[in-house]
Amino acid sequence: MSTIFDKILEGDIPCHKVYEDEHVLAFLDIGPLALGHTLVIPKERKAYLHELSDEAAAALGRVLPRIARAVMEVTGCDQYNILQNNGPRAHQAVFHVHFHVIPKPNESSGLGIRWPSASLDGGAGEELASKLRDAIG
- Which residues carry out catalysis? 98
Angle ∠(77,83,86) on CA atoms, nearest 5? 170
| Least spacing, CB of residue 19 vs ligand AMP, in Å | 14
Among 93, 120, 128, 129, binds ligand AMP (CB under 6 A): 93
Rounded Cα gap, residues 34 and 75, in angstroms: 10
Choices 51-59, 65-73, 84-92, 101-109; region in contact with ligand AMP by CB under 6 A:
84-92
CB atoms near residue 100 (< 10 Å): 18
Nearer to ligand AMP, 52 or 94 (CB): 94
List % helix, strand, coil for the chain (3-state, nearest 5). 35, 15, 45
Quote the CA–CA distance of 92 and 86 in Å, as a whole number. Answer: 6
CB of 45 to ligand AMP, least distance (A): 15
Q: In what order do the strands lie in the sheet with 17-20?
A: 17-20, 24-28, 38-42, 99-103, 80-83
Among 22, 54, 78, 91, binds ligand AMP (CB under 6 A): 91
- In whole angstroms, the minimum distance from the beta carbon of 89 to ligand AMP comes to 11
What whole-number distance in Å separates Cα of residue 71 and Cα of residue 102? 9
Interface region with ligand AMP, contact rule CB under 6 A, candidates 27-35, 46-54, 63-71, 102-110: 27-35
Check binding of 30 to ligand AMP (CB under 6 A): yes
- The verdict on 59 binding ligand AMP (CB under 6 A) reads no
Q: Contact positions toward ligand AMP, by CB under 6 A?
A: 4, 15, 29-31, 39, 85, 91-94
